[in-house]
Amino acid sequence: MTYPYDVTIIGGGPAGSTLGSLLRKHDPSIRVLILERERFPREHVGESQLPPIGRVLEEMGCWEKVEAAGFPIKIGATFRWGRTPDLWDFEFVTTSEVEGVTRPGTFEGVRRRTAFQVDRALYDQILLDHAAELGCEVRQETRVTEVLREGDRVIGLRMDDPASSLVTSSLYIDASGGAGTLRRAMGVEVDAPSQLRNIAVWDYWEDAEWAVEIGVGGTRVQVLSLDYGWVWFIPLGPTKASVGLVVPADYYKTSGEAPEALYRRALSEEPRVRYLLRNASREETLRATKDWSYVSQRIVGENWALVGESAGFADPILAAGMTLAQLGARELAYTILEARRGQHETDWLFRTYEETQQRRIRQHIRFANYWYTANGCFTDLKEFTREIAREEGLDLDAENAFRWLGTGGFATDNLINPSVGVYSLDSIKRITDRMGEGQSSWEINRFNRFDLALEGAERRDVAGYHDGHVVKCPCYVRDGRVLPEMGVYNVVVQAIRKDGRAESLVHNLGSFFTRVGADPNTMVDHALQALEAMVVEGWVRGSLDSKGQRIHRETPTETPITHRNRDAVPS
Ligand SMILES: Cc1cc2nc3c(=O)[nH]c(=O)nc-3n(C[C@H](O)[C@H](O)[C@H](O)COP(=O)(O)OP(=O)(O)OC[C@H]3O[C@@H](n4cnc5c(N)ncnc54)[C@H](O)[C@@H]3O)c2cc1C
C-alpha cells in the first residue's frame, strides 16, 4: 500500500522538529508531515539546556541559527542544595574559558561544551522553521483530534479542521509532549514513580538582574532550595527571566495556600532571588503544571512510535528534558532511516530504540530521586532510596541504597562513557561529593581485587547511533542493565580477565593505553570510571585480600567544575 507520507509527526516541539529535520537531512526523499496544534511562536516551559544538545543542533544544521538569536550561554548552575545552605557552582566549562568568547560564535572549542538558556517561543519556532526549510510539510494550527486504529495499528489521523481529510502515512510518531495524543489513543499505560509527585508554578519577569555575566552573555542558572521546595531562576535574554517554584504535591495540599500566594511567599523567602528581582516586573500570569514524571510502558507499536516527552520525563531538577527529547529524536530518525535501508531487522531496530529510551528515562528518574533525597534541606527521604533500589531488584538497607543511588546506580546509559544520559559519572561524583557524601562515594576504593560477575547475563546487540546509521554493538544484558563489549568497558573487561588485582589492573591499563598511543593518565582515569560503573551495576565483584594495595580514585571536592560560589550577589 502506498501512502502520501512516509512519516507523520504529531507535535512540532523540539522532539518533532528534530526528528523531521534529521530524517530529511539524511534522506531528502523521505516525505515527512508535521502536525502542530498551535501557531508558533507559542510559549512553553523548560528553558535550560545541557551541552549534549549542541551536537544535535549542529547535526540538524541549525546551531548557528540558535546562536544568532542571542540566547544566554549556559555555562552551568549555582545551587543551594545539599546538607548545608552554602551556595556552590556546577560548571560545564571554567569561567576563564568563556571570558574570551565572541558572539555570534561557531560550534567549536569551548562552545561545544556549553549550552543555551532559551526562550522556548523563539527556540521552538527556529527549529520548526528549520524542519520546514529542510522539506518537512508543516501544518500549524492543526490539532490531531482522533487516532484511528485497528488493533495495534494506526490507520489514520483526524484533525480539528473539518475540511481537512484523513491523514494516512506509513509511520505515525507521537511527539505531542505531555499531551501524549497517540500514546493515550493506543491505550499505552505509564509508570509514574510515587516519589516525584511535584507541582510547579512559574512566571516571566522583565529586568531581572543576572547573578553573574561571564564574557558575552554567559551565565549560570540558579537552583535554590527552600525547606519546602526549590526555585529556578533562568535568564532567557538580556532582560527576560523565567522564575519558577517546585514543591511536593503533598506540601501544596496541606499548606492550604493558593498557587499565587505560595509563589509570592517562596520568592520573598529566597534571599538571592529576592535580590535579583528587586528592580524587575512580573508578567503576572502565573502558569502551573503537575504530574510530569513518568515512563511509557511501550514506546513502539506496529506502525507507530513515541518520542520526546510523550515517551516520558523525569524532573526539571536535571534540566535534561529538551536534551533528552532531541537526543531521542535523533535516535528515532536513525532507526527509521535504517529500517528503510533494510540492512538490519526492523524489529530489532525499534525494540532497541524502545529499550534505550525506557532505560534512559528510568535512569533519569532515579537520578532525580537522588537529587531530592540528597537534599538535607528537604525532609529526610533516605528510606525512599530503599524502595528505588528494590524496584531495581536490590535489597539494600537505607544507608547502602542511598550510596548505590548516589554512586551511579544509573551509570551505563551511554555505551561509550559511564554516564546518566547527559551527566558523566565524574560529574555525578562531584555532585555527590558536594551533597555531602564526601570521598566515600567511590566504590572501587574499597577493594584491591576485581572479578568479572557475568553469570546469567545474555549476550545481545544493542544499537549505537553514528553518522546517520545504526550500528550493532555487542553487549551483556542482565535485569535491564547493559554492559557494552566495546570502548573503554571492553578494555576493562580484558584487563580484569588478565589480572584482577588492583595494582596489576591499573598497571596493565596504563600499558595498554600507552601501546595504542592514547594519553595513559586520561584514559586510565576513564577506565577507572568505567570500572566504578561496572562495580556499582554488579558486572564486577570487588573484594579485599589481605595483601595488595587498594585503588585510590578521588574526586577533588573543589574543582574548576564544582566549587563554592564566588558571585558578588548576596547569598
Ligand atoms: C515544570 C517543568 C520544568 C521544565 N524545565 C526544563 C528545563 O529547564 N530544561 C529542559 O530541558 N526541560 C525542562 N522541562 C521539560 C521540557 O519542557 C520538555 O522535556 C520538552 O518540552 C519536551 O519536548 P517535546 O518536543 O517532547 O514536547 P513539547 O515541547 O511539549 O512539544 C509538543 C508539541 O506538540 C503539540 N501538540 C500536542 N498535542 C497535539 C495534538 N493533538 N495535535 C497537534 N499538536 C499537538 C504541542 O502544541 C507542542 O507544540 C520542564 C518540564 C516541566 C514540566
- Ligand 1 pocket test, candidate residues 123, 198, 309, most atoms within 8 A of CB: 309
225-234, 421-430, 521-530, 533-542: range with highest mean pLDDT: 225-234
pLDDT in tens, 125-155: 999 999 999 999 999 999 999 999 999 999 9
Cα–ligand 1 centroid distance for 257 (angstroms): 27
Q: Which amino acid is at 276?
A: L
Q: What is the pLDDT of residue 379?
A: 44
Question: What's the whole-number mean pLDDT along residues 319-325?
Answer: 90
Q: Is 36 near ligand 1, meaning CB less than 6 Å away?
A: yes
The region, left, alpha or beta by phi > 0 then psi within -120 to 50, assigned to residue 395 is beta
Cβ-based burial of 156 (10 A; exposed 0-12, middle 13-18, buried ≥19): middle
- For residue 406, pLDDT over 70 is answered with no
Residue nearest to ligand 1 atom 53, measured at CA = 292
Of the two residues 433 and 134, the one the predictor is more confident about is 134
Q: What is the pLDDT of residue 421?
A: 45
Q: Is 181 near ligand 1, meaning CB less than 6 Å away?
A: yes
Could you please report the per-residue DSSP string of 142-170? --EEEEEEETTEEEEEEES-TTSPPB-EE
> In this structure, what C-alpha cell is assigned to residue 229?
521546595
d(CA 146, CA 161): 12
Q: What is the pLDDT of residue 194?
A: 67
- For residue 404, pLDDT over 60 is answered with no
d(CA 243, CA 202): 6
CB 282 within 8 A of CB 201: no
Question: DSSP letter at 395?
Answer: -
d(CA 382, CA 375): 10
173-182, 218-227, 401-410: range with highest mean pLDDT: 173-182
Question: What's the whole-number mean pLDDT along residues 174-187?
Answer: 98
* Residue 22 pLDDT grade (very low, low, confident, very high; cuts 50, 70, 90): very high
Q: What is the pLDDT of residue 417?
A: 52
Closest atom, ligand 1, to C-alpha of 50: 11
Phi, psi values for residue 58, rounded to 5°: -65, -45
Of the two residues 60 and 388, the one the predictor is more confident about is 60
CB 263 within 8 A of CB 286: yes
Cα–ligand 1 centroid distance for 16 (angstroms): 10
Question: Per the confidence metrics, is the pTM higher than 0.75?
Answer: yes
Q: Is 200 near ligand 1, meaning CB less than 6 Å away?
A: yes
Q: What is the pLDDT of residue 137?
A: 98
pLDDT in tens, 279-318: 999 999 999 999 899 999 999 999 999 999 999 998 898 8
Q: What is the pLDDT of residue 407?
A: 44
The percentage of the chain sitting over the pLDDT mark of 70, rounded to a whole number, equals 87
Q: Which amino acid is at 156?
A: G
Question: What's the whole-number mean pLDDT along residues 362-389?
Answer: 65
pLDDT in tens, 233-288: 999 999 899 999 999 998 999 999 999 999 999 999 999 999 999 999 999 999 99
d(CA 528, CA 406): 17
- For residue 413, pLDDT over 50 is answered with no
Give Cβ neighbours of residue 33 (< 8 Å, ≥ 6 apart).
5, 7, 8, 9, 136, 137, 139, 167, 169
Q: What is the pLDDT of residue 46?
A: 96
State the chain's mean pLDDT as an integer: 87
- For residue 118, pLDDT over 90 is answered with yes
Q: Is 292 near ligand 1, meaning CB less than 6 Å away?
A: yes
Cα–ligand 1 centroid distance for 309 (angstroms): 6
Cα–ligand 1 centroid distance for 125 (angstroms): 13
Q: Is 368 near ligand 1, meaning CB less than 6 Å away?
A: no
Q: What is the pLDDT of residue 422?
A: 44
Closest atom, ligand 1, to C-alpha of 38: 47
Phi, psi values for residue 193, rounded to 5°: -70, 135
CB 169 within 8 A of CB 33: yes
* CA nearest to 120, candidates 250, 230, 12, 260: 12
Residue nearest to ligand 1 atom 13, measured at CA = 46
- Ligand 1 pocket test, candidate residues 8, 44, 120, most atoms within 8 A of CB: 44
Question: What's the whole-number mean pLDDT along residues 205-230?
Answer: 94
- For residue 440, pLDDT over 80 is answered with no
82-91, 371-380, 468-477: range with highest mean pLDDT: 468-477
Q: What is the pLDDT of residue 391?
A: 61
Question: What's the whole-number mean pLDDT along residues 353-366?
Answer: 86
Q: What is the pLDDT of residue 300?
A: 98
Of the two residues 407 and 518, the one the predictor is more confident about is 518
Q: Is 76 near ligand 1, meaning CB less than 6 Å away?
A: no
d(CA 317, CA 297): 23
Q: What is the pLDDT of residue 546?
A: 79
